[in-house]
Structure 1
Amino acid sequence: MKSSYLFENIQTLEGSRSTLKNQTVLIKDGVIKAFGKKALQNAELLNIKPKNAKNMLLAPCLVDPHSFLESPFKGKAENIYTLIKKATVAGYGQLGILPRSNLWRDQIESIISLKTINSEVLIHIWGAFSLGGKGISLSKHSDLLQNGAIGLADDDFTPPIELLKQGFSLGEMKKSPVLLAPRDISLQAEGMSRESVDTLRAGWPPDPIESEILPLVQLLELHKQYPDIALRLMNISTSEGVSKLKDAYLNPLTTVQWWHLVTDNSYLSPFDIGWSVTPSLGSPKDRASLIKGLEENVLTAISVHSTPTDDSETKQPANRRKKGISGYNLVLPLLWDQLIRKSGWEVEKLWEKLSFGPSKVMNQPEEKLSLDSNRWLLFDPEKEWVQSNEKNNLTTATNQPMKDHKICGKVIDCGLINQVYQND
């Protein structure tokens, strides 16, 4: 059964053009029914008693601009159904799915199969820029976009510039976004962590800064040549990258992965899951620059960039396991702690980067609180809980960081699901 609440003087954020305010809200069976005096009047008629909402926040759902789902129907680590359930428990209402898959999303059939999923969580599919993500030949861009793809992306590294020029010159994407990752895998070589004193101290092979900067400079120059292309840049990770964007002739919409804002290569023990990510984890200077870049709107949005793996992969040594982490449930609590408690951000700024900005990246309508809508989340920044990969069987993905750590802050409920696990 869906939740019914009467919140008196709860903090609310209604949308991207709103400011945080206290007001009375009535929710019946998961749907917002009234604000203000009308909420009190209707709650009395329905016999819905006030609920203590001290310190809680009612706000629009979060949006993830890009994550991986490589085996959507038979995946051991994650499938489309566990992903939807996990995302809604974390307050996410929209998910962007990248094209890398056991059947690359370079054909309309792979797009259509995911578009048939009946879910209140909006699933947005990125079509493949190149066939098989190999960077050799173009997919049929117009076919993918006409059959449900929201835009084009490739793998998590930069395709050959000549192929990008070919695709941009054809211009079949028109105003649809093109999402590209500024990463040169040949320059990165076997690098595990951005080169720094802390990387050497931890014993990881270094990932040179040039593996991000050189392809980033090429992509920014290409954008000058093709300014009508709706270029998006995926997961900037270095201080130098932020500086290049700040000075760019055109500033494309850009994402940063959430984990790069929470930690850096001076924090983790050698055994932490969080070392094995793409792009490589940076230094304290990188993390500070990324936070400032978001605050100054040089960077547009925060991605989850989930790459779920199961135990057979997670238990491999860090330098041999597949790179990436998962953990939607950690994103809002840990970023609330880092950006609001420690960095002094306003709630409005955090939602710009976790909800409204990601919608812009995908060219999708923004989330908002409105009457007769169930698109809301309820967050308690003071709720304490312990992170466990197995909790509630939400997913078999075991590459979630912070296992057995006490976390402060939790999504208590979300209107998109029948029940959130409120008694954990």
Structure 2
Amino acid sequence: MEKLIVQNATVLFSNSAFFNKKVDVLVENGLIKNIGKSGSIQAKNATIIDGDGRFLAPGFFDLNCNFGEPGFETKEDLVTGAAAAAAGGFTGIALQPNTNPPLHSRADVAFIVNSARDLIVNVYPVAAISKNREGVDLAELYDMKLAGAVAFSDGNRSIQHSGLMSRALLYTKGFGGLVFSYAEDKSIAGKTKMNEGEVSTYLGMKGNPNIAEEVMVSRDLFFAEYNDTPIHFSTISCEGSVNLIRQAKKKGLKVTCDVAAHHLYYTDDEIISFDSNFKVKPPLRTKKDRAALIKGVKDGTIDAIVSQHTPHEVEFKMVEFEIAEFGIIGLQTVLPLLLKVGLTLELIVEKLAVNPREILKVEQPVLEEDQPANLILINPSELWIFDESTNRSKASNSPLFNSELKGKVDLLINKGHAIKLP
């Protein structure tokens, strides 16, 4: 990338002196070289990008992203996953350890760090808490931290052994590590496929009750308080969890949490269609839970929003609901979903770009001269079709596939490269 000028765009970098102002920005060889009032910047041989009606923001950062590599490359590899992330406006992703082998050793973490080095998206490995994600023995946490792990989680498996979770929190405290908790009591949740409530009763399906999540949130909050450690809860889904975390924050506990974008929009009513693309984990909850989650996002109880991008081959999703795998792809549809929910762009940027980096202590992008450009150009009113021609993932397991969406990222600049998205 040589010279590029974004003209007349509104700035959504909250740490910038130009916040909420219209500016021109000159980017040259990956660096921000000039920022000025609209119409004030000109440069020879520069590519001009019209930013009128568009918003300049820091690149999004996803705290919960699943690719397949290593072991499940037919679902998603690092290259296709990064392409999907970039198309959705993400310049950074925290990669979950749900691979084969899982990211449970220094070598596994180093493999991801080295393999992703040349991608336009910054990839940060989240390493497993336990060996093989079996929830029995602690993995080599400190070594993985040195190799580049930014946090520790057993991914979509909840730590059932209370002593192991407490020891993980205490051990990571010694070197400033962060534990992600996926809260689900398996003895309560069992092998359920959807939320427990009126819809599950109507359909005659055994449901996963809110209490299965709330019990584990409560347990891990006790451990965080007892060990005086930070803790982050991944993809909370119900009203009780929001209330527990809100109370914990008021007490002064070092707790953060995130919610998946699809839990802010969909409810368990969707399951009546038996569309396996609505089969996610944790399950879609009730309208009351959704309202509590949205309120939690707006009042600051919920710190971040994630895609929970979980790609699957067609043979794992185009089957009966009962036997279908959990998960949907979401990297390219987070922004349109959040706009449908009614969140403001300022709040979306806070929850998708600023707070995720703050949680992981990752450097924040800045809009300042002579600083590296890590930015996106958002067009909130652009209509586009999410289909085979626009999808950058290997997978297509999304309830939004082949539908018209509103809201898109037109331009992404990171690591010295620029992508103008079609």
TM over 0.5: yes
Q: CA deviation at 1:155?
A: 3.1
Change (3 A) 1:257 1:318: same
Change (3 A) 1:183 1:41: same
The residue type equivalent to 2:137 in the other structure is S
Question: Mapping of 1:15-414 within 5 angstroms?
Answer: 15-16=14-15, 19-28=19-28, 32-37=32-37, 40=39, 42-43=41-42, 45-46=43-44, 52-72=50-70, 75-116=73-114, 117-118=116-117, 119-156=119-156, 157-171=158-172, 174-227=175-228, 229-248=229-248, 249=251, 250=253, 252-267=255-270, 269-340=272-343, 345=344, 347-372=345-370, 373-388=372-387, 390-392=388-390, 394-414=392-412
Contact 2:199 2:272 in 1 (8 A): no
Contact 2:72 2:100 in 1 (8 A): no
Q: CA deviation at 1:264?
A: 1.2
User: Bigger CA drift: 14-23 or 54-63?
Assistant: 14-23
Normalised to the residue count of structure 2, the TM-score between the two structures is 0.90
Identity of aligned residues (%): 22
Contact 1:98 1:153 in 2 (8 A): yes
Q: Secondary structure at the match of 2:419?
A: coil
Change (3 A) 1:414 1:204: farther
Change (3 A) 1:173 1:95: farther
Contact 2:113 2:123 in 1 (8 A): yes
Change (3 A) 1:80 1:73: farther
Q: CA deviation at 1:349?
A: 1.9
User: Bigger CA drift: 127-136 or 117-126?
Assistant: 117-126
Q: Secondary structure at the match of 2:405?
A: strand
Q: CA RMSD in A?
A: 2.4
Query: Structure 1 regions of 5+ residues with no counterpart?
Result: none
Change (3 A) 1:321 1:165: same
Contact 1:15 1:367 in 2 (8 A): no
Q: Matched residues in 1 for 2:95 and 2:6: separation?
A: 35
The residue type equivalent to 2:245 in the other structure is L
Q: Secondary structure at the match of 1:365?
A: coil
1:226-250 per-position Cα deviation (integer Å, ceiling 9, x unaligned)? 11x2211111100111111122232
1:142-199 per-position Cα deviation (integer Å, ceiling 9, x unaligned)? 1111221112111322331111223334456532111111111221113222222233
Query: Structure 2 regions of 5+ residues with no counterpart?
Result: none
The residue type equivalent to 1:240 in the other structure is G
1:365-387 per-position Cα deviation (integer Å, ceiling 9, x unaligned)? 22333335331111111111112
Q: Matched residues in 2 for 1:279 and 1:29: separation?
A: 43
Normalised to the residue count of structure 1, the TM-score between the two structures is 0.90
Q: CA deviation at 1:392?
A: 4.5
User: Bigger CA drift: 58-67 or 188-197?
Assistant: 188-197
The residue type equivalent to 2:322 in the other structure is N
Q: CA deviation at 1:305?
A: 1.5
The residue type equivalent to 1:277 in the other structure is V
Q: Secondary structure at the match of 1:382?
A: strand
Matched, 1:415 2:413: yes
